[in-house]
Amino acid sequence: MFRDNDDDDLIPNFFVVFSPVPVSRFRAGVSGLNVRICFPKQKVSMSSTADGCVQFIRHAGDVLFNFNRLRSRNILTDVTVRVGGREFHAHKTVLMACSGFFYTVFINAHKTDPAVVSLDAKADPDGFAILLEFMYTSCLTLKEHFIVATLNTAIYLQMEHMVETCQRFMESRGLGVKPPREKPPAGSAHLPHDMTVDLRDVSAPTTHYAVSTPRLPPLPFPMGSVSNAKPLSWEIPKDCRAVTREPCSNQGGSRGKCSSMDPDVRSAKVEEAEVENSPHVVTPRSPLKSDCQPNSPAESSGCSREATTPLKVRNWKKYKFIVLNSAEGDENPFRNSNRALEKCSETARKQTPVSMSTHAVRQESKAETKNESTDLTCGDWDKMENDSENHQCLHDAKLYDCDVLRTSFTSNHNLTNHKSVSPGEKPYRCSVCSAQFNRPANLKTHLRIHSGEKPYKCETCGSAFVQVAHLRAHVLIHTGEKPYCCSVCNTRFRHLQTLKSHLRIHTGEKPYHCETCDLRFRHKSQLRLHLRQKHGAVTNIKTSNR
């Protein structure tokens, strides 16, 4: 079963190691789970190899962690493993990468994609749960109650490092193992003999077929008498004293290779195994692998729960909103966005006229402070779908208008406050540059420019910012989030201003006007350049429609 993590956050799948430099000196972007990093060669000092390869030291672990989160939400899981009446959803690629058994099943199932794999009854569901968790977390939970189940299942799944680890665990606890009651016949394969696989035809997903292993496509190596093979089984002796067991040929050889091996060679291999593993104790060996079968994940020297506890990356929640959050088991984030929108709308109906956008974001902020999972909020919807007409209805709250400035306020109270301080009144003056502000807070923010104070630091790269909004915009680089979508061409942008600028391509708007020669430009930089080249100065830059 899936072990829920203490921290519900996802972590980005990259971690850049470099000396603090101005963020403008590099560009980084993420598309989904892929990261693209471009560095100017001379600007950044970083951890890299001589050939310029940038190593993302947490990448592998973070990717695995994200896979685990996907599994927990049943997103893109493409196989159901049935073990002892229990069902486990997982990703084939992960199973293949960790288990020789699953590798064999899936690599040979290219024509009939198995959506359900039923394991032999000898595979223990508790043991499988432990091993499955290991596959996704790199953390193997060993308990005496389940050690035999784990060991047997590890053997069944051909996870040799798990087998070895289970054995070491048993030895360390003074537990012993009995030899199999029946010595497997020579040449028997390690692959469980009576595995059944339900094959679901892709074109007819509701149809299930049950076939036995021998009817699977050919294995990488000859299987020999698969149907006669007996899976290994150990039992903890009642007296828990260490006992010996006999070498098993089906453990020491390659998967299914013994049958086709020259008898002399096979004999030599068995003898070699016996010598290597002492006369009485044989460590189950991993079957040889085909060319591309991955190694079984090995125990990390630093393996511990602490080591696998993800570092909290606060702003990863934003990425989660778009990619992975939403309700359990729902693969479409936008569907959940609608759900969240409905929730937001419901809330809006109950609210007095306040800004739902701000309100929702505040709720998100609160929830984030409490480290709670939050739904996509109205504000997030704003960022994701700027053209949401339905959303507008949420903001049809009663407004209070200022007839002088032609602005609106959501409460008469704020309108009164507004009128008490008119824009011509800026009583707060900067002692350094004499700039004036209408609020102390604005002056306070301004003063940071002079003091150099940048209290908002990015936890990922260490960049600091004067305003928290700047930090929020910045972290989008790390999360890869591009919340602003062009409704015309679906191009996504990280910043609203960029989207607005982009939309001019579709609308044909050219708001920057040269009054001298009546030329119009889409970007201010174009106008500036024009003025510099044609008129020799940068003056009177005005925009229309503003």
Partner DNA sequence: ATTTGCACCGATGGTTTG
Partner DNA sequence: CAAACCATCGGTGCAAAT
Q: How far is the CB of 345 from DNA (least distance, A)?
A: 16
The span of 50-58, 101-109, 174-182, 468-476 binding DNA (CB under 7 A) equals 468-476
Residue 383 binds DNA, judged by CB under 7 A: yes
DSSP type of residue 286: P
Check if the beta carbon of residue 294 is closer than 8 Å to that of residue 96.
Answer: yes
Residues 7-26 close enough to bind DNA by CB under 7 A: 22-24
Residue 524 binds DNA, judged by CB under 7 A: yes
The span of 89-97, 273-281, 301-309, 354-362 binding DNA (CB under 7 A) equals 354-362
In sequence order, what are the residues at sequence separation of 6 or more whose Cβ sits closer than 8 angstroms to the Cβ of residue 349?
none
Check if the beta carbon of residue 107 is closer than 8 Å to that of residue 96.
Answer: yes
Residue positions counted in the chain: 546
Q: How far is the CB of 530 from DNA (least distance, A)?
A: 8
Residue 82 binds DNA, judged by CB under 7 A: no
Residues 401-420 close enough to bind DNA by CB under 7 A: 407, 409-411, 413-414, 417-418
Binds DNA by CB under 7 A, chosen from 435, 459, 485, 520 = 435
Q: How far is the CB of 19 from DNA (least distance, A)?
A: 15
Cβ neighbours of 35 (radius 10 Å): 18
Q: What do you get for the CA distance between the two ends of the chain, in Å?
A: 58
Q: How far is CA 357 from the centre of its chain?
A: 27
The span of 161-169, 219-227, 262-270, 528-536 binding DNA (CB under 7 A) equals 528-536
Residue 314 binds DNA, judged by CB under 7 A: no
Show the binding pattern over residues 471-510: x = contacts DNA (CB under 7 A), - = does not: -xxx-xx----x--------x-xxxxxx-xxx--x-----
Q: How far is the CB of 259 from DNA (least distance, A)?
A: 55
Residue 228 binds DNA, judged by CB under 7 A: no
Check if the beta carbon of residue 48 is closer than 8 Å to that of residue 84.
Answer: no
Q: How far is CA 543 from the centre of its chain?
A: 43
Nearer to DNA, 245 or 395 (CB): 395
Q: Is 290 exposed, middle or buried (CB count within 10 Å of its CB: 0-12, 13-18, 19+)?
A: middle
Nearer to DNA, 256 or 379 (CB): 379
List helix spans (H) across 260-401.
Answer: 263-276, 305-308, 316-319, 333-350, 356-369, 378-384, 389-392
Residue 463 binds DNA, judged by CB under 7 A: yes
Residue 541 binds DNA, judged by CB under 7 A: yes
The torsion of the CA quartet 198, 202, 206, 212, rounded to 10 degrees, works out to: -20
Residue 202 binds DNA, judged by CB under 7 A: no
In sequence order, what are the residues at sequence separation of 6 or more whose Cβ sits closer than 8 angstroms to the Cβ of residue 399?
353, 408, 409, 410
Residues 242-271 close enough to bind DNA by CB under 7 A: none
Show the binding pattern over residues 129-158: x = contacts DNA (CB under 7 A), - = does not: ------------------------------
Pairing state between β 34-38 and 492-493 = unpaired
Question: What 3-state DSSP class applies to 425?
Answer: coil
Binds DNA by CB under 7 A, chosen from 183, 314, 343, 470 = 470
Structure tokens at 239: 């007296």
Residue 385 binds DNA, judged by CB under 7 A: no
Residue 37 binds DNA, judged by CB under 7 A: no
